[in-house]
Chain A
Amino acid sequence: MWKFIHKLASPPHFYRFSAKIIPWFAGVGSILVIYGTYAGLFLAPSDYQQGDAFRIIYVHVPAAYLSMMAYSIMAVSAAIGLIWRIKLSHAVAAAAAPLGAWFTFLALVTGSVWGKPMWGTWWEWGDPRLTSELLMLFLYIGYMALRAAIDDTVKADKASAVLALVGAVNVPIIHFSVEWWSSLHQGPTIIREGGPAMPVEMLYPLLAMILGFTFIFGALLLGRVRTEVLFRERRARWVRELVLTGAGPG
C-alpha cells in the first residue's frame, strides 16, 4: 500500500496511472448522472409541497457537496505538500481550486433558481447556507488570486498552501457565524435520525447524482492535475520523450 502511494507521488507514474483510471471515472460518472437525471426528472414523484420545483436538488445538492469536498481536497493536499514537500500534491491543490469555485458557483445559481419560486426572491441574505456558500466562493477567489499573483511556482504553492490551511481553520467558524442568523432554509433531509425523510423514488436518483458528480469531479480533477504536471515538469526528460515519441514513459 505505502509503496503504491510512494510510486503515485512521482509525476511520470501518476501521469501513466491517471490515464488508465480517468476513463473509468468518467464512464461510471456519466452512467450514474444519466440514470439520475432520467429518474429524477421522470420517475420521481412531484413533491406534495414544492411540486416539480424540488427537482433542482438533483443538481444543487451534489454541487454544494462538491464545493465543500473540493475545499477539503485542496486544504489536505496543500498540507501534505507543505509538510512532506510532495510536488504532486501542490499540483492537486492548484487543480482543485477552480473546480471547487465552479461547483460553488453552480450551487449558488441553482440555489437561487430554486429560491425564486419557493421563497419569492432570488437571493435571501437571512439564509445561512446561501451566505456561507457565497463566502466559500470568496475564499476560492482569494486563493486563486494569490496563486495568480506569484510568478514563481514553488513560492506560489507554499504561500497558497498557508492560505488554504488558514481558510480551512476558518471555514467551520464562518459556517457557525453565518448559522447564527435565523434560518429560512429547510433542515437536513438525507442524514438524520429515523432514516431519510424522502421516498426512495426521490432518494435513489439523488444518491446516484451525488455519486455520479463525484466520479465526474474525480475525472476532471485528474485531468487538470495531468495538465498541471505536464506544465510543471516541462523541462523534465520524461515529458520531452513523451512529446517527441508520442508515447508514455517506459
Chain B
Amino acid sequence: MTEPDHISPGLARGFCAVIRRDIVLAWKRPGDVVNPLFFFAMVSSLFPLAIGPGADELALTGPGVVWVAALLAALLSLNSLFLSDFEDGSLDQLLLSPQPLPLLALGKALAHWLISGLPLVVVSPLVAISFQMPAQTINVMLITLTFGTLSLSLLGSIGAALTVGLHRGAALLSLLILPLAMPILIFGARTVALAAADDAVSAGIYFLAAYCMLALTFAPFATAAALRISNE
C-alpha cells in the first residue's frame, strides 16, 4: 500500500526531521552542548588534584577517570533529552505523528549522541593527554568512547522516557541508568587500561560494538513504550 506524499512524509523524512530539529535547537542554545563538556573536563581534573600529580598514578587512573567522567557527563545531558519537548508539547506531536514511534525515538537518541556524545569523544584526547596517555592508547580510547557514548545515549533514552514527567527526575534517572550502564563502563575502562599495558584489546572493543548493536536494535522499542506510558 502506498500513500501519497502530501498526506504523510516518508519514514526517512520523519527520521531526519527529528534529528535536524534537535541539532538546530542545540545550535541555538550552545550552552546545552558546551556545559556537559566543561563538566567532563572539570570532573576529570578533580582526580589528579585529589589523588596526586605523579606520572605513575595518572597513568594508572587515567582510563578509569576518563570513562567515569564521560558516563557522568552523558547522564547530565540525558536528563534534558525529552524534557523541553515534554514542556512545550512537541512530545505529544511526536506521539501523535503517523511515523512509527520507535523510529522517532531512535532519531532522538542519535541526535542526542551527535549533540553530546560525539563532542565528548572529540575533546576526550585533551583530557587523555593531560593524563599522559600515549597516542596508541588514545586511539583505543576514542574507539571505545565512540561505541560507549552511543550505547549510553540509546540506553539513557529509555530512562529519560520513563522519568520524563516526574519531579526530581534527574536523581531518579541516575539510579535507573547507572546499574544498567556498568557493562559499558567495565569494558570501556578496562579495555583502555589493557591498551595502556600493551595487552590485547580486541575482545573489549568487540564486546562494546556488540552491546552497541544490541542497544540500537532494542532500545528504540523500549523508549517508545516508555514514552507512551509516561504520556498517557
Contact = CB atoms under 8 A, between A and B. Distances in A.
Interface stretch (A5-13, A85-93, A141-149, A205-213): A141-149
B187 A146 contact: no
Contacts of B226: 159, 162
A63 to B, nearest CB: 19
Contacts of B176: 142, 145-146, 163
Contacts of A158: 229
Nearest to B219: A166
The majority secondary structure among interface residues of chain B is helix
A85 to B, nearest CB: 13
Contact of B180 (A141, A159, A167): A167
Nearest to B222: A166
Interface in A154-194: 155, 158-159, 162-163, 165-167, 169-170, 173-174, 176-178, 180-181
A149 B229 contact: no
Interface string B168-181: 11001001101110
A162 B220 CA distance: 12
A169 B179 CA distance: 13
What's the interface size class on B, roughly? 20 to 34
A180 B187 contact: yes
Contacts of A178: 182, 186
Contact of A170 (B172, B183, B229): B183
Task: Give the interface centre of B167, B183, B207 by most chain A CB atoms within 10 Å.
Answer: B183
What's the interface size class on A, roughly? 20 to 34
A215 B186 CA distance: 37
A167 B179 CA distance: 9
Interface in B151-210: 158, 162-163, 166-169, 172, 175-176, 178-180, 182-183, 186-187, 190, 207
Contact of B168 (A149, A163, A180): A149
B232 interface: yes
A150 interface: yes
Contact of A139 (B166, B179, B190, B229): B179
A197 to B, nearest CB: 30
A163 B159 CA distance: 8
19 contacts: A141-B175, A142-B175, A142-B176, A149-B163, A149-B167, A149-B168, A149-B169, A155-B229, A155-B232, A159-B230, A162-B162, A162-B229, A163-B158, A163-B176, A166-B180, A166-B222, A167-B180, A174-B183, A180-B187
Interface of B: 158, 162-163, 166-169, 172, 175-176, 178-180, 182-183, 186-187, 190, 207, 211, 218, 222, 225-226, 229-230, 232
Given A149-B169, A162-B222, 15 more contacts: A135-B182, A138-B179, A139-B179, A149-B163, A155-B230, A158-B229, A159-B162, A162-B158, A162-B229, A166-B158, A166-B180, A169-B218, A170-B183, A176-B183, A177-B183
